[in-house]
Amino acid sequence: MTTSPMSAVRIESLDSTSIGLKPGQYTVSEPSLVAKASASLSATPRPFLKWAGSKRRFLVDLIPHLPVAFSTYYEPFLGGASLFFLLAPPRAVLGDLCDPLIETYQSVRNNPSAVLRFLSPLKQTPDIYYAIRGNPGGGPYKRAAEFIYLNKTCWNGLYRVNQKGEFNVPFGRPKSDGVANPENIKACSRALASPGVSIQVRDFEATLENAGSGDLIFLDPPYVTGSGANGFRDYNKRLFSWQDQVRLAHLAAHLQSQGATVIVTNVDDPSVRKLYPTFDKHTLTAHFTISGRMDRRRLGSELLLVGRRKGKS
């Protein structure tokens, strides 16, 4: 049976007699994943947020490095959740330190219709944008709707707060009239509402505390600006420091040694490569669009690191 790229990729539970997999593991079809990733504007579920640094444009490149099967999916730097929505796994542990981001995912999971009731009437105009930006509040579904609205209407989907923790990105003159696709929001809700999926505000170590053999872990941390320097974390007042990068690399190596498949993305810098001596290294190339000027939107490279226990699929 052919899987349509318009729908979620089918993930099947296998018993212990199936191609040598352990009980409770899940396998995915690589052709189906590629078809879905290639239909990024129509496939569901797909990210409903536009997140700076999103790996949506690299999904096809990530697919060949996925394991044949995995038990639980872990993503502690959730952002736009591109890989999670591509896989739509029945068991996942999702986290981030950005409270409004996680609350938005929880609200979409819990009651997408309530979020859409607040979101649908909002027009993409500077007056409405700045009124919402300057006066946040209300219940969780209203806050989630306004978070989605600001994200899709602000400059380049950037989430940035000032020293007081206030969102301060300017209006972005969006090119599309639509803020969110209702059918996709509902599809995302179904993926997030799987009984085996948890979503919490946590540091990456806490998110990964139960990860181990047979699991799939995707790490897309705030990127490094150089060895010994702070990376950037505009959506949280605490910077993700070089020491945090080192802490993450040590944990990634430990999980690799335990038999997990660990996939890491970061800036392609010699200092980062040295942090992951046992990981396979690949270069990803794409146009970077964070700049507001077209003449500064140029090709750049990112680093893909893949760690798995040697001899394991």
147 domain-assigned: no
Task: Say whether 133 sits in a helix, a strand or coil.
Answer: helix
76 domain-assigned: yes
pLDDT at res. 281:
97
Rounded to the nearest 5°, which phi and psi values hold at 138?
Answer: 95, -170
pLDDT at res. 287:
56
Pairing status of strand 196-201 against strand 91-96: parallel
Q: In which residue ranges of the chain is pLDDT below 70?
A: 1-23, 175, 224-239, 286-300, 310-313
d(CA 132, CA 1): 47
Asked whether the CA dihedral 53, 205, 269, 243 is positive or negative, the reply is: positive
pLDDT per residue as tens digits for the range 36-87: 999 988 899 999 998 877 888 899 999 999 999 999 999 999 999 999 999 9
5 domain-assigned: no
Asked whether the CA dihedral 170, 174, 177, 183 is positive or negative, the reply is: negative
179 domain-assigned: no
129 domain-assigned: no
156 domain-assigned: no
pLDDT at res. 5:
37
For residues 196 and 93, the answer to whether their CB atoms sit within 8 Å is: no
Pairing status of strand 69-70 against strand 26-27: antiparallel
Whole-angstrom CA distances from 281 to 34, 66, 125, 240, 303 are 21, 14, 44, 22, 7
22 domain-assigned: yes
The residue range of the domain holding 222 is 12-99+193-307
For residues 286 and 252, the answer to whether their CB atoms sit within 8 Å is: no
* CATH code at position 283: 3.40.50.150
6 domain-assigned: no
pLDDT per residue as tens digits for the range 96-135: 999 999 999 999 999 999 999 999 999 999 999 999 999 9
Q: Cα angle at 79 between 177 and 50, to 5 degrees?
A: 15
Task: Using a cut of 0.85, tell me whether the model's pTM lies above it.
Answer: yes
Our count of domains for the chain comes to 1
